[in-house]
Chain A
Amino acid sequence: MDENTIIINGNRLTVQPDETILETARRNGIDIPTLCHLKGAIPTGACRICVVEVEKARSLMPACTTPSQPGMVVHTESPEVVVSRRMSLELLLASGNHNCAVRKSDTGSFTAFQLEVQKYDNTDDLCPVWGDCELQDLAYRYQVSGEAFESTAPRYPMETVNPFIVRDFSRCVLCGRCVQACNDIQVNNAISFGYRGSDAKIVAGGDRALKDSDCVFCGECIQACPVGALVEKDSRYVWRPWEARKIRTTCSYCGVGCQLTLHVRDNRVIRVTGTEDSPPNNGSLCVKGRFGYSFIHSPERLTSPQIKENGKFREASWDEALDLVARRFTEIRDAHGGDAMGVLTSARVTNEDNYLANKFTRAVLKTNNIDHCARL
């Protein structure tokens, strides 16, 4: 046998140094489901969803933390693996308010459980991330309804006292991805695991509200959360994946140039997420990029040209405003020369906008008096 290979599901695969079974599999297009695994962070092996059967091993092994060792024979979907995953999923679904359509319904109406959760949530809607939940996807995939065990009542109340993030502990599966996002990826070190055993909770500082902690509201934890435990306050129950168009663009705040996805419905941006797997930010954003989009639809936006008369602005048509500007610019240029005029172009607008401002200044006004606020 080749010294540098392992066999996964009958496929002989070359192993790279320091690679886990999960990495070897994914690199070769073999899907092993994960839940607590967060790309770019240090694997914890906490959720047991990624367990695989390794021949000659005494028990199932988590693929995300087990190194690929030459000679291994691995089965990723063996009956034993599937039984284990189904059990893990049953336990996870029973651990909180996971009221989505994976539940069986009795006689076409919602089950008592779902009604109870809706009461808790104070809504007649399903879970806020229904349709965008990794736990739900896994439950479908393994046909688990979450009814094998009695549901656990929520242990900690929902936290809604900050402007950006709703922390719904009733849906938290304690996978730890938010903790990794905060500590390993953004390195803000604001949240961690607190308490023990069945009291376990993700806490900020000494179990404070996020607003009173070191949290800087970058929202990396929301993007990392596989379930509905961490959701943007503004888009909670507003955004559903099948209703929103996604448009990738570049953030308009600082110069990092983060790639972000605008989620649009009815001509409104209703949510912003970082674009995964794409430089320079690989999904990360800051509080401004993720939450500071209200200005787009602000009622204070200018919506028509304005001309000042006797010290007051009045609305004008584009034709009137542009003719006035063109006439006055021409008069001033012809009377005083282009060097009596100047253009401030903008570090906020596009290259295309800036290039034409540069061309206009030099070719039409006939001056090089153009600058922008790079200096300020």
Chain B
Amino acid sequence: MTNTIADIEEADVILVTGSNTTENHPVISSVVKRAVTRRGAKLIVVDPRRIKLVDFADKWLRQNLGTDVAWLNGLMHVIIKEDLHDKSFVENRTEGFEELKAMVEKFTPEYVSEITGIPAKDIVEAARLYAGARAASILYCMGITQHVTGTDNVKCLASLAMLCGNLGNRGGGVNPLRGQNNVQGACDMGGLPNVFSGYQPVNDPGAISKMEKAWGVSGLSDKPGLTVTQMLPKAHTGEFKSMYIIGENPLVSDADLNHAEECFSHLDFLVVQDIFMTETAKMADVVLPSCCFAEKDGTFANTERRVQRVRKAVEPPGEVWEDWRITAEIATRMGFDMGYANAAAVFDEITRVTPSYGGITWDRIEKEGLHWPCPAADHPGTPILHTEAFPIGKGKFFPIDFLPPAETTDDEYPLYMTTGRVLYHYHTGSMTRKTDGLNERAPESFVEMSRADADKYGLADGDRVKVASRRGEIEVLLSVSDKAVDGTVFIPFHYAEAAANRLTNSALDPVSKIPELKVCAVRISKAA
């Protein structure tokens, strides 16, 4: 997030898109709802489902799946045409406005309406509402990023914010809601193929020599590595021999699981480190048991870049080690000494080689976490990014044209399907499905369908149905719901035994390599 969670309550207008906030980030949804009910902020929800947050919204724009670039360009078209943009921000803080203006010229409300299904009038009104705010906050989640145009979608959101001067200000910003406790930290710590910790590029000679010196090693590779979605196909072709997987369950969370399983089975040697014998661990040659969050000391970085302490509360069961200790021990046995006394010693090294964490110590975050960048011991942290300038100087507008999703419906697969989470479960369910009460509330997978579609296909609430895509088939319960809009169904991806990802499309965004988990075409029939 460019801004903080508390800062959302400062916004006059909140635009939420691709985020079912009340179920996926309930505590943030309360901040949004308080802003609306107690401060009178206006809420715009752009989402293909009639999610709970719509009850609080001034406007709900219901777009066809995979058409986000179109409605975003439509908003910008109206804002520029009606001269509602923040001219001084555009002039002083950005570049590429003319190119953006030329691109969005054709995205008239009528043209956008044809693509997105959103009435032209709503495009105009939403644009005026967003542009008219003193400060407007944008919140988004995987509904924006898990598309072949995910990067384009995010760039358009950034352009919209810059166009109206909503970056670097209180109550503004472009705020991705991170779905996992430490997805921010995993990125910060170099858990990415192209950067060391603190986003220092692996092909920057300066960064390489710095890390070589710090780590007492030579010959670090300057070739950016592969993403998870690129590794698997290489396993399939035999180019890839071995993987070491720590605390991940790609055999439920990956797109097109049938294919992913086959890829994993081609590996020569697979090591999985986890707290449970997950679907992925079952395929491993060696499984290493690790501590859960309550059994170790350390830090997580949350969605607002706040680095917070994790503290050991209980002893782990049996012969279980912290993840860092296992990794360090493997390294040491491979002849590279990684002797750390404890997690605090690892954190000390992190702060020495990671400029954005340079001023953070466990002492400083004992009571309250700090937002990175926090480069020095006397630096207060950075709750709001880009207040004076962008890291690259001026913010760049990217003119982006609309591209349709990778898969569209046809006679054989006439329904669109999208995926997500439910309130009572989390990701691949390996943790939440161990709590009886959560299972009681959300016992099994389902497909959510509109009343009209159910009638059309002769189905009733509670029927067992087969859902098939070009890649696989699962059997689930039918749930007729007001959340669903005609022509589009939803399936949660938590349930390994009826995994939604057997159906999803693994087509990737060309930049982020994120699969288009949010759009595929399916057909539904009553199970025998």
Contacts and interface: CB of A to CB of B under 8 A. Distances in A.
- Tell whether A and B belong to one assembly: yes
Contacts of A287: 26, 423-424, 438, 441
Nearest to A318: B319
Contacts of B404: none
Contacts of B253: 373, 376
Contacts of B304: 257, 280
A301 B317 contact: yes
Contacts, number: 476
Nearest to A256: B27
**Residue from B221, B347, B430 whose CB has the most chain A CB atoms within 10 Å:** B221
A374 interface: yes
B489 interface: no
B420 interface: no
A294 B436 contact: yes
A75 interface: no
B448 interface: no
Interface in B184-216: 184-194, 196-197, 202, 211, 215
A366 B219 contact: yes
**Residue from A234, A284, A332, A358 whose CB has the most chain B CB atoms within 10 Å:** A358
A340 B235 CA distance: 9
A292 interface: yes
A195 B34 CA distance: 27
B288 A355 contact: no
Interface stretch (A12-20, A137-145, A303-311): A303-311
A217 B437 CA distance: 10
A216 B495 CA distance: 20
Contact of B197 (A211, A346, A355): A355
B286 A306 contact: yes
Contacts of B284: 308
A371 B294 contact: no
Interface stretch (A21-29, A93-101, A181-189): A181-189
A292 to B, nearest CB: 5
A302 interface: yes
Contacts of B517: 376
Interface string B242-281: 1111111010011100000000000011010011110001
Given A288-B424, A349-B182, A369-B226, A313 B287 contact: yes
A202 B202 CA distance: 59
B330 A326 contact: yes
Interface residues of A, number: 112
B296 interface: yes
A186 B56 CA distance: 13
Contact of B221 (A297, A307, A338): A338
Contact of A373 (B248, B322, B324): B248
A342 B190 contact: no
A339 B384 CA distance: 38
B25 A255 contact: yes
B243 A250 contact: no
B240 A340 contact: yes
Chain A interface mostly helix, strand, loop or mixed?
mixed
Nearest to A264: B313
Contacts of A187: 30, 33-34, 37, 56
Interface in A269-323: 269, 278-281, 284-289, 291-298, 300-308, 313, 316, 318, 321-323
Nearest to B343: A352
Interface residues of B, number: 150
Interface in A23-53: none
A344 interface: yes
Contacts of B329: 318, 322
Contacts of B294: 249, 252, 262, 269, 293, 296
B440 interface: yes
A341 interface: yes
A336 B224 CA distance: 18
Interface string B296-339: 10111111101111111111011111111011111101111010
A12 B312 CA distance: 46
B217 interface: yes
Contacts of A301: 275-276, 289, 292, 317-318, 320
B227 A163 contact: no
A332 B242 contact: yes
A248 to B, nearest CB: 6
Given A250-B308, A255-B180, A366-B220, A218 B26 contact: yes
Contacts of B179: 254-255, 347
Contacts of A369: 193, 225-226, 231
A148 interface: no
Interface stretch (B110-118, B450-458, B508-516): B508-516
A72 interface: no
Given A248-B311, A297-B317, A318-B321, 10 more contacts: A249-B313, A286-B423, A295-B275, A295-B276, A343-B246, A346-B323, A357-B323, A368-B193, A369-B225, A373-B228
29 contacts: A218-B26, A248-B309, A249-B293, A253-B181, A255-B179, A257-B304, A258-B27, A280-B27, A280-B306, A288-B424, A294-B436, A298-B276, A300-B434, A305-B289, A306-B277, A322-B288, A326-B330, A343-B243, A345-B191, A354-B186, A355-B324, A356-B340, A359-B215, A360-B330, A367-B221, A368-B193, A370-B190, A371-B226, A373-B183
Listed from nearest, the 10 A-B pairs whose CB atoms lie closest are A303-B318, A257-B302, A255-B178, A163-B437, A350-B298, A368-B225, A346-B247, A358-B190, A187-B33, A326-B333
Interface of A: 162-164, 184-188, 211, 216-218, 233-234, 245, 247-259, 262, 264, 267-269, 278-281, 284-289, 291-298, 300-308, 313, 316, 318, 321-326, 328-330, 332, 336, 338-364, 366-376
